[in-house]
């Protein structure tokens, strides 16, 4: 981990702490008036100064001194802090800096591509009521796209410009944990996942493709070097443009998770993935689907990787808009996952997740986790199920409820090896639990009875 921190620090140095010969002490842009620092973890503070200058940081009774290196870069760490505020942070060197209205609480990063960027004023349903109730001074947002604004307190005056998913996530989280919450928002519209990977990971998982650059990795490294609790990640649409790219997404996403945990020096950094929403034309017959491949990669990484959650959005898509407007449920569901998986609340936070598929006579029994209270659908009947033998030629199959299971009828002559559900760019499916949380599309192999 020391090597990981050194690598991250090097990236930070190149990006926001260029070598200096003689200069006043400065802080990295993320540090400013009104900021939120992470509770219960060591808090890294860094910036620039003159070569060899001693810098002393004072905060909440702690006093930490460090000397700037030959390039003028410095970094220190405060011992874990308890939630509270407002506090003042003072830095003494050749000059003095003072930051006021500083709080300690929970800090989350929110990033991805354009669906993480949609502001509340952009036709988000119920946006006027959301903004009207935004008087939440203990919720603060730092936006990479507007560094000059610094950390902005939530209020009805400014909330209409806040990113919808991040704000609704932070709002519900702050209410639940009852401490200050800070959000660092840094998406990039249209970005593919390759551009966020470290050069080492990109080279390993993209097979040395020279068209894939790590242009956004320094931004990711800088933010994740700031001590924080976790990351909410909404990205994938740009990797679903072709079937080939979509099928490589699982390896990319696994590599991305590893990068984030290495950079942050947190091997179990919580990451909440937001599944890409349905978009495009419904498919009348079974076939390939790039967007379904991306969703399946997101589902599998979340199931296979401890500490990674998944917000399912199969009920929130819009056929003609890759940027669905109903963003509030996305943020709400992300907060549910954080509250359950990170903060230990005993609440329903997941829709039904497929556990296994077993052949029983001429039916296939699908068993689900998170199905307490039974399975439901708002449609007249269950559909969206497909079966295939070892040749992977999928055919439609009918199904019916059986308590917390679903029984899929096996067509005559078929020896099924695979079952999938909602396999389409725009699946017309509705399967949820008693908490009204939806099921992801999926593909699984069939187990022996």
Say if residues 310 and 348 touch (Cβ distance below 8 Å).
Answer: no
Query: Rounded mean pLDDT of 144-156?
Result: 96
| Whether residue 246 is found in the same domain as residue 326 | yes
The answer as to whether 280 is a domain residue is yes
**Average pLDDT, whole number, for the chain?**
93
Query: Rounded mean pLDDT of 420-443?
Result: 96
The answer as to whether 65 is a domain residue is yes
| Whether residue 252 is found in the same domain as residue 266 | yes
* Residue 7 confidence (pLDDT) above 60: no
* Domain end among 77, 101, 125: 101
Least confident of 114-123, 203-212, 265-274, 406-415: 203-212
Contacts of 78 (CB under 8 A, 6+ apart): 37, 42, 43, 45, 57, 59, 60, 62, 64
Say if residues 282 and 423 touch (Cβ distance below 8 Å).
Answer: no
| Whether residue 189 is found in the same domain as residue 141 | yes
| Whether residue 231 is found in the same domain as residue 310 | yes
pLDDT (0 to 100) of residue 6: 42
Tokens of 350: 């997941």
Tokens of 8: 């991250």
pLDDT tens column, 164-206: 999 999 999 999 999 999 999 999 999 999 999 999 999 998 8
271-274/308-311 β-pairing = parallel
Half-sphere exposure of 198 toward its Cβ, with a 13 Å CA cutoff? 21
Range of the domain at 73: 2-101
| Whether residue 296 is found in the same domain as residue 405 | no
Reported residue count of the chain is: 449
pLDDT (0 to 100) of residue 343: 98
pLDDT tens column, 348-371: 999 999 999 999 899 999 999 999
The answer as to whether 348 is a domain residue is no
* Domain end among 283, 316, 342: 342
CATH of residue 190's domain is: 3.40.50.1110
| Whether residue 238 is found in the same domain as residue 315 | yes
* Residue 260 confidence (pLDDT) above 60: yes
| Whether residue 92 is found in the same domain as residue 114 | no
| Whether residue 232 is found in the same domain as residue 280 | yes
| Whether residue 163 is found in the same domain as residue 260 | yes
| Whether residue 268 is found in the same domain as residue 165 | yes
**% of the chain surpassing 70 pLDDT:** 93
Say if residues 76 and 46 touch (Cβ distance below 8 Å).
Answer: yes
| Whether residue 235 is found in the same domain as residue 257 | yes
**Count of domains forming the chain:** 3
Contacts of 298 (CB under 8 A, 6+ apart): 236, 249, 253, 273, 275, 276, 310
């Amino acid at each position: 981990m020391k090597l990981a921190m050194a690598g991250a620090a090097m990236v930070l140095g190149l990006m926001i702490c260029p070598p200096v010969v003689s200069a006043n002490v400065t802080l990295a842009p993320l540090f400013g008036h009104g900021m939120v620092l992470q509770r219960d973890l060591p808090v890294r503070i860094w910036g620039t100064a003159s070569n060899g200058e001693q810098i002393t940081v004072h905060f909440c009774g702690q006093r930490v001194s460090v000397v700037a290196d030959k390039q003028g870069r410095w970094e220190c760490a405060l011992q874990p802090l308890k939630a509270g505020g407002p506090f003042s942070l003072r830095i003494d060197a050749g000059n003095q800096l003072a930051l006021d209205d500083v709080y300690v609480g929970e800090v989350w990063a929110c990033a991805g591509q354009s669906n993480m960027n949609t502001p509340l004023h952009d036709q988000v349903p119920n946006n006027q009521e959301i903004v009207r109730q935004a008087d939440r001074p203990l919720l603060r947002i730092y936006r990479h796209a507007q560094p000059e604004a610094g950390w902005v307190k939530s209020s009805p005056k400014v909330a209409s410009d806040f990113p919808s998913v991040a704000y609704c996530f932070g709002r519900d989280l702050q209410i639940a944990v009852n401490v200050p919450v800070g959000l660092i928002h840094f998406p990039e519209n249209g970005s593919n996942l390759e551009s966020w990977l470290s050069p080492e990971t990109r080279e390993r998982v993209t097979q040395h493709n020279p068209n894939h650059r790590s242009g956004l990795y320094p931004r990711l490294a800088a933010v994740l070097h700031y001590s924080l609790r976790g990351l909410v990640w909404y990205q994938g649409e740009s990797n679903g443009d072709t079937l080939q790219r979509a099928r490589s997404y699982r390896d990319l996403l696994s590599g991305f998770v590893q990068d984030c945990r290495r950079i942050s020096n947190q091997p179990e950094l919580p990451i909440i993935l937001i599944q890409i929403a349905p978009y495009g034309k419904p498919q009348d017959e079974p076939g390939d689907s790039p967007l379904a491949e991306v969703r399946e990669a997101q589902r599998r990484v979340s199931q296979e990787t401890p500490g990674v959650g998944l917000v399912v959005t199969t009920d929130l898509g819009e056929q003609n808009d890759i940027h669905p407007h109903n963003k509030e449920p996305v943020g709400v569901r992300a907060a549910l996952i954080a509250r359950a998986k990170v903060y230990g609340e005993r609440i329903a936070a997941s829709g039904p997740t497929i556990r296994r598929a077993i052949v029983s006579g001429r039916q296939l029994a699908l068993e689900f986790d998170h199905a307490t209270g039974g399975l439901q659908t708002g449609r007249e009947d269950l559909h969206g199920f497909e079966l295939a033998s070892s040749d992977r030629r999928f055919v439609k199959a009918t199904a019916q409820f059986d308590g917390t299971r679903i029984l899929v009828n096996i067509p005559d002559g078929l020896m099924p090896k695979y079952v999938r559900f909602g396999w389409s760019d725009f699946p017309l499916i509705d399967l949820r639990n008693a908490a009204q949380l939806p099921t992801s599309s999926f593909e699984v192999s069939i187990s022996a009875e």
